[in-house]
Amino acid sequence: MKAKSFLLTILATIFSLLITTDSFAQRTVSYTSTKKRIGNFSIDIKGKGDFKIEYEGDIVLSDDDKDIVSISRGGFIEIKKSSFGKKRRLLIEAESGTLKKRYYVGWNEKSYNPEGKAWLAEILPEIIRNTTIGAESRVKRFYKKGGVNAVLSEIRELESDYVTSAYFSYLMEYNLSNSELTKVVDVAGDKIDSDYYLSQVLQKNQKAFLGNSQTLSAYIKATKNIQSDYYQSQVLSKAISNDDISDDQLGDLLQISKNIDSDYYLSQVLGKILDKRDLNRSNMEKIMTLSNSISSDYYKSQVLKKALKKKNLSNQNYNQFISSIDDVGSDYYSSSIIEDLLKKDLDNSSLNQLLDLINKNVGSDYYASSLYKKLAKKKLSEDQLIEVLNSLGNINSSNYLSSSLVAFAPSVKNSSQRVKDAYMKRAQSINSDTYFGRAMKAIY
């Protein structure tokens, strides 16, 4: 029984792999660097069964899509179908400037005309809507007949997102007006369900789509249809890298970021913007607002630290930055942000703001003490020293309070008696005689 069960398991695994391989083959199409079309795949056409197709070269179809009228030199197409024990095979090869067409039923070759021709006419319209066979020539034909609208009408009838994206690529080779580009983006956003293929269409043609406010609005709308945070961030990241994007356009593109739920991908997009662009006040406000939606302390701190490095932070931006720190729950990440603030010049107002941040957002005596020790290295006025010494009262640990006071001792020694009095008052709050002695010894 065990052997039988094992054998059944092996057979089931093999069957599963075969299904997976066949499913993958349905959409496997490769192109060489010379744009020579090569395909080997299977497709399942509703009502017409499963077809295996191989082809090579540029294939041109008749105007009614029911026949193949030319294949580039050395090219061919082979179509096979098996159902209920009946096998059919059609082979068309380009030879010496003409097409050699053969039709087989089982192992027997039959007359191509009319049997093979009739079968090709029956299956070809569905095949071309599920593959890229003849795609370039079809786009050219539809465009010549009815412009963009005719091509888009046909695109709406295509079955595969992969095929649809290929048709969009050929259509975008034409010199389209802004209104036509808007139609293209609208249809792409509505028609393509795959996040991957939609993002590819948007990224590949980004320069054209971001050319004016009309196409930009359509572009943003289409991008919002992408469900994947990864692909949304890819589209945005590429747009951000475009130096031709204006501040107003960037502000509009930031609307898309609201749809990114992942802390990682949102922080990547915001971080890239902060790295690459000088932001006006409005866009900086949007960046700060978006950073508030990041739940992770790590990723939020990365964005805030980058924002702090910007030289043109307005007072409003700075205040928004300060309020954003309140949302960082981790003492480690809060202190790392505040540590960057310590690198800036401190007037009385900014010093008081900094001390408030330490007392409000850093609960750990260890991290608070580390920040005070770094603050002790800055040149402070006597009034500022007194403010800092008073603020040290929030450290409860005798060890960390003593070591913090010792860090300020050199500045206190060279200050007036009122600074020394503030130092001694703070030292007297130390409960341990040992640590109190260390603090007092440091100023004498």
- The tokens for 356 are 């408030």
Are 77 and 141 contained in the same domain? no
Instruction: Output helix, strand, coil percentages for the chain, rounded to the nearest 5.
Output: 60, 15, 25
CA atoms of 380 and 16, how far apart (whole Å):
72
102 strand-pairing partners: 91
Are 77 and 156 contained in the same domain? no
Residue 149 lies in a domain: yes
Domain that holds residue 170: 134-225
- The domain boundary residue, chosen from 168, 199, 225: 225
Are 33 and 124 contained in the same domain? yes
pTM of the model: 0.75
Residue 349 has what pLDDT?
87
Residue 188 lies in a domain: yes
DSSP line for 241-270: T-TT--HHHHHHHHHHHTT---HHHHHHHH
Domain count, the chain: 2
How sure is the predictor about 24, in pLDDT bands with cuts at 50, 70 and 90?
A: very low
Residue 309 has what pLDDT?
85
- The tokens for 408 are 């300020």
- The domain boundary residue, chosen from 225, 254, 272: 225
Are 138 and 118 contained in the same domain? no
CA atoms of 207 and 359, how far apart (whole Å):
49
Please, which contacts does 109-117 make with residues 24 or more away whose CB atoms are closer than 8 Å? 116/90, 117/67
Residue 73 lies in a domain: yes
Is the Cβ–Cβ distance between 253 and 237 less than 8 Å? no
Are 108 and 159 contained in the same domain? no
Residue 150 lies in a domain: yes
272 in helix, strand or coil?
helix
Residue 3 has what pLDDT?
46
- Is a pLDDT exceeding 80 seen at residue 15? no
Q: What percent of the chain has pLDDT over 70?
A: 89
Are 139 and 124 contained in the same domain? no
Exposure string for 403-436, b = 16+ CB within 10 A, e = fewer: bbbbbbbebbeebeeebeebbbebbeebeeeebb
pLDDT tens, 220-238?
899 999 999 999 999 988 8
Are 119 and 139 contained in the same domain? no
Are 199 and 145 contained in the same domain? yes
**Rg, C-alpha atoms of the chain:** 35
Query: How many residues are there in the chain?
Result: 444
pLDDT tens, 86-112?
889 999 999 888 999 999 998 899 999
- The domain boundary residue, chosen from 173, 206, 225: 225
Residue 397 lies in a domain: no
- The tokens for 291 are 């950073």
Region at 381 (left for phi over 0; alpha for psi -120 to 50; beta for the rest): beta
- Is a pLDDT exceeding 50 seen at residue 363? yes
- Is a pLDDT exceeding 90 seen at residue 256? no
Report the relative pairing of strands 59-61 and 68-71 from DSSP bridges. Answer: antiparallel
Ranges of beta strands (E only) in 136-219 are none
- The tokens for 225 are 């249809």
pLDDT, average across residues 178-198 = 96
Residue 179 lies in a domain: yes
